Amino acid sequence: MDIVKLLLVNNARTDSISKEGLRPIDLVPYNTPCWDVLRNAERGKLPVLEIPSEVPYIPPFALVQKTKAKKKGKKKGKKGGKKGGKKGGKKKK
Q: What is the pTM of this model?
A: 0.53
Q: Which tens digit of pLDDT belongs to each residue from 2-60?
A: 889 989 999 999 999 999 999 999 999 999 999 999 999 999 999 988 777 788 888 88
Q: What gap in Å lies between CA 65 and CA 62, rounded to an integer?
A: 9
What pLDDT score was predicted for residue 73?
A: 64
Q: For residue 18, what pLDDT is reported?
A: 94
| Span 59-72, pLDDT tens digits | 888 888 777 766 66
* Alpha carbons 47 and 39: distance in angstroms, whole number: 11
Angstrom distance (rounded) from CA 46 to CA 6: 10
Residue pair 54/67 in contact (Cβ under 8 Å)? The answer is: no
